[in-house]
A and B are shown apart, each in its own frame.
Chain A
């Protein structure tokens, strides 16, 4: 129970002192990753607290999503025509099924677009409104940035090193304030996974520049 409450109160504190938190994070973190997090949070900061739309206006997310699906459909269809049709003696070449899929995606996305723009699905509108009210974009952007940094850091920095940092920073982004504890848990977890997979199970994980002595 106590750990749980701690997390909740820690979260509130973070909300108040978020600016201080960003600078504090940079000091503890691997310099490149910390900078990336900070910048990602900077760009997403505008989406902060008051992005909730007035109640009479429908949120845009269903419309945007439907349009994106339509765009994907057009792309699938367009590139299907770029597939060279195989030998003539074949009844169905490599292009037929992609065409079918492309047409299917275009048609169903078009229906979704029409529905979204007419707002004909009140349940969806309600859900989208609720999501818009509850969504904070900052942690999402920060997590994505962290993951991208992680995938580039893995090979040069090594598995357990990058993973320990990733763990601590993700916990930090999500509002945990006990950096030392998180870093320690991250380190133990990363080392445990590294030894289990790389040494015991024989699945190679990158050792990084600082190799382990054993």
Chain B
């Protein structure tokens, strides 16, 4: 079998001492940063981008695979012990994990999260191994009009999922697209939105945007609330980290169900990790024999969503690798990392960069094992990190954010851009605008424009091409439903609420 041969080649490369070391470093650093309160996986990956500058693309991506998973493991620790979700997808974990920790069962919650993540991550990686090449072959046949439609779908679902109000999500998305426009137009050489600043000819440095929005924005947000917001209480781990036989019995089915929910949804080019985690939470709540425990610390409510989260996270790599389309903020930052090394994910990646892809996939397997074996015992160490005074933590985050941006180009202009976007991220967060659509728009915008113009060139300038081709029209319809659906449902609920409730 071709796939197995390729995978074996990948393992051969991933097991080289340097790559093993990098995978280990990635996992450790990822958990280290991911465990910091408020820093979700997207921020973690963005903050650690500069560390990879010195390695060859393969080494850097192996490091990233570790950071990607590590950031997520770290995030679940914060969610359970501190009740602070690093991102929306971790919210269900806080719902059950934190009450568990409060009743002295933090060890079991952390263990089921970690083992569930391992199970889900490994199954999902197997899925990527076999479905990835197939999907890449299908993706090769996609025409520009459909490609553009799929990107619109990704935009629409990310906007709809993250924002409670589509208008604000769309504002964020379109601002991101506008940022992506800055620079020299690749087809005509025409400068757009550069205002005569030579540093902008290559476009806004997207790493500066990501670090600014996520890391600096988070630091400003923390600074603003430091004195007045109630301090989150750190709960002690209490007891050993592990699960009793009963915990195992109650966990293994939710793990598998969570994986079954998370992987397919994540693998769609319209995924994200939010829907599967909430879906898994509701499924577990409905199926559980301990319904009364839900809300007070039911282990199923940690096991299911954590597995779904990790499965979706791995699933997200599928559209990212085969189509070049990120469907979550974290995947967006990963795409930036790929592009920094002139590796353009997409249908051709599996052919042109075969060695790199398979090394990456192999290191996903290795990263999963490493995190389980190394991370679980190290959790007490991460917890110590959470006890550092907040002012020092924030200062450290700012130092590393600035370092990352500066090391990129040794250019103060980029640092200025990052500070500007930090302010923007702070303002958006304060006034209820999601930042994930912005980063996706900025990363994916140039590609969407290229496909848009290609499609238009094929149709000789006919704008209806996106609606007359059946597949493209269907995907665009789906996008509209994704955006308008939640709104319609809310309106429906409102009118129903006004009517008198029928008896019973």
Contact = CB atoms under 8 A, between A and B. Distances in A.
Interface of A: 1, 3-4, 6-8, 10-11, 15, 61-62, 64-66, 68-69, 72-73, 76, 79, 83-84, 86-87, 90-94, 96-98, 101-102, 104-105, 108-109, 111-112, 115, 121, 123-124, 127-128, 131, 133-137, 139-140, 142-144, 147-148, 150-152, 154-155, 163, 166-168, 170-176, 182, 185-186, 189-190, 193, 197, 201-206
B499 interface: no
Interface residues of B, number: 72
8 contacts: A86-B187, A139-B226, A143-B219, A154-B415, A155-B412, A175-B391, A185-B392, A205-B406
Given A65-B433, A112-B167, A135-B228, 5 more contacts: A65-B430, A98-B192, A104-B174, A163-B399, A170-B395
Contacts of B165: 112, 115, 121, 124
B461 interface: yes
Contacts of A73: 174
B343 interface: no
Contacts of A168: 395
Nearest to B459: A91
B256 to A, nearest CB: 35
Contacts of B484: none
A193 B398 CA distance: 13
A131 B419 contact: no
Contacts of A151: 402, 412, 415-416, 419
B136 to A, nearest CB: 27
Contacts of A72: 175, 178
B457 interface: yes
A91 B407 contact: no
A196 B426 CA distance: 31
Interface string B379-422: 00000000111111011101100110011001010011001001
B456 interface: yes
The 9 closest A-B pairs by CB, nearest first: A7-B389, A174-B391, A108-B170, A91-B461, A65-B431, A105-B174, A170-B395, A176-B391, A111-B167
Contact of B174 (A79, A108, A127, A134): A108
Contact of A108 (B167, B187, B423, B460): B167
A3 B175 contact: no
A104 B460 CA distance: 24
B140 interface: no
B229 interface: yes
Contact of A176 (B229, B389, B412): B389
A190 B229 CA distance: 30
Interface in B154-172: 164-168, 170-171
A189 B174 CA distance: 39
B190 A193 contact: no
B219 A193 contact: no
Contact of A175 (B226, B422, B433, B459): B226
A11 to B, nearest CB: 6
A92 B461 contact: yes
B350 interface: no
Nearest to A63: B431
A47 to B, nearest CB: 11
A62 B216 CA distance: 21
Contacts of A83: 190, 192
Contacts of B453: 91-92, 96-97
A167 B395 contact: yes
Interface in B48-97: 50, 53-54
A143 B391 contact: no
A73 B399 CA distance: 33
A128 to B, nearest CB: 6
B286 to A, nearest CB: 26
B434 to A, nearest CB: 12
Interface in B205-226: 216, 219-220, 222-226
B449 interface: yes
B54 A203 contact: yes
B203 interface: no
Contacts of B231: 8
A86 B398 CA distance: 43
B227 A131 contact: no
B398 A143 contact: yes
A167 B399 CA distance: 7
B43 to A, nearest CB: 17
Contacts of B387: 1, 3-4
Contact of A79 (B53, B193, B395, B426): B193
A130 B433 CA distance: 15
A197 B395 contact: no
Contacts of A87: 188
